[in-house]
Amino acid sequence: MIDRTSMTYLFSDAGRTALTHFVDRSTLFAFDLDGTLAPIVTDPARIIISQDIRERLIRLNLLAPVAIITGRARTDAQKHLGFNPRYLVGNHGAEGLPGREKQEEEFCRRCREWQDQLKRLMPHASECGIFIENKGATLSLHYRNASDPDAASRMLVQTISQLKPPLRRIPGKYVENIVPYGAPHKGEALIQLMLQTGCSRALFVGDDATDEDVFSLTNDRILGVRVGCEGPSLADCCLSDQQEILDVLDEIIRLTSQSKDSV
């Protein structure tokens, strides 16, 4: 049995049993990218998905619907993936959901306004090691390279609070994400994709604060797996580290193949 009050290690007896009982022919498989399919690196432009992981994803994509739901812009994510998943949703859920194109244009307009405001409020941001990334439907303010990351973080939080119209701020690892109110988050994106594909179940693997939007859904038909067993999270299960993603892919390919064979 899965313990809902804390994460169960996926490769424990209880975790394996839960996974075996969960995966069937109607399961959608969804993954975050950075920190999940690829290790976090200092320069996000240099992220690398290993050939082993890419091969498994391609194989799984032939067996079942696969979705990548990432904070990156879709075009950026596509460059690193090296294959075409059935669904690729960018900007933490705000970009690439079928039927939401008009709404997306409005998010992009709002982000351009915030970017202009940020340039006025923080004219020396780049000299402080802060990089403003406009990803289209959301903004990411990176401070990994700031000489004093704590001071940069405080300045960003204070500046973001002055932006108009108000927004949703999602802190990440050396990054503050700015998301328009009303933009679908990763949890909403996953539910829409389940409806779209007709999949009654979804397995989602992620590692970061924005993935909690999936983990916090109280839905027995979604199995949330977090990369990293430390720290607070509402995920059902966890992995020790990012390298175990290969074992997860092997296991779900095996289970999916078995359930197909038993048709």
**Chain contacts with Mg ion (rule: CB under 5 A):** 32, 34-35, 207-208
Rounded to a whole number of angstroms, the minimum distance from the CB of residue 233 to Mg ion is: 13
Closer residue to Mg ion in complex, CB, 4/79: 79
Q: CA 159 to CA 40: how far, in whole Å?
A: 27
Q: CA 120 to CA 229: how far, in whole Å?
A: 41
Residue nearest to Mg ion (CB): 35
Closer residue to Mg ion in complex, CB, 92/110: 92
Closer residue to Mg ion in complex, CB, 35/180: 35
Q: What is the DSSP letter of 234?
A: -
Residue 165: cis peptide before it, omega within 30 degrees of 0? yes
Task: Measure the CA angle with vertex 258, ends 256 and 261; round to 5°.
Answer: 110
Rounded to a whole number of angstroms, the minimum distance from the CB of residue 147 to Mg ion is: 25
Rounded to a whole number of angstroms, the minimum distance from the CB of residue 35 to Mg ion is: 4
Rounded to a whole number of angstroms, the minimum distance from the CB of residue 254 to Mg ion is: 25
Phi first, then psi: give them for residue 175, nearest 5 degrees: -150, 145
Long-range residue pairs from 250-256, CB within 8 A, at least 24 positions apart, any chain = 250/56, 251/16, 251/19, 252/19, 252/23, 252/29, 252/60, 252/203, 253/56, 253/59, 253/60, 253/63, 255/19, 255/20, 255/23, 256/23, 256/25, 256/27, 256/60, 256/63, 256/64
Closer residue to Mg ion in complex, CB, 34/213: 34
Closer residue to Mg ion in complex, CB, 32/212: 32
Closer residue to Mg ion in complex, CB, 34/236: 34
Rounded to a whole number of angstroms, the minimum distance from the CB of residue 145 to Mg ion is: 19
Q: In 3D, which of 75, 14, 18 has the Cα closest to residue 220? A: 18
Q: In 3D, which of 256, 206, 259, 255 has the Cα closest to residue 235? A: 206
H-helix or E-strand spanning residue 54: helix 51-63
Closer residue to Mg ion in complex, CB, 146/214: 214
Rounded to a whole number of angstroms, the minimum distance from the CB of residue 26 to Mg ion is: 26
Rounded to a whole number of angstroms, the minimum distance from the CB of residue 210 to Mg ion is: 7
**CB half-sphere exposure, 152, CA atoms < 13 A:** 23
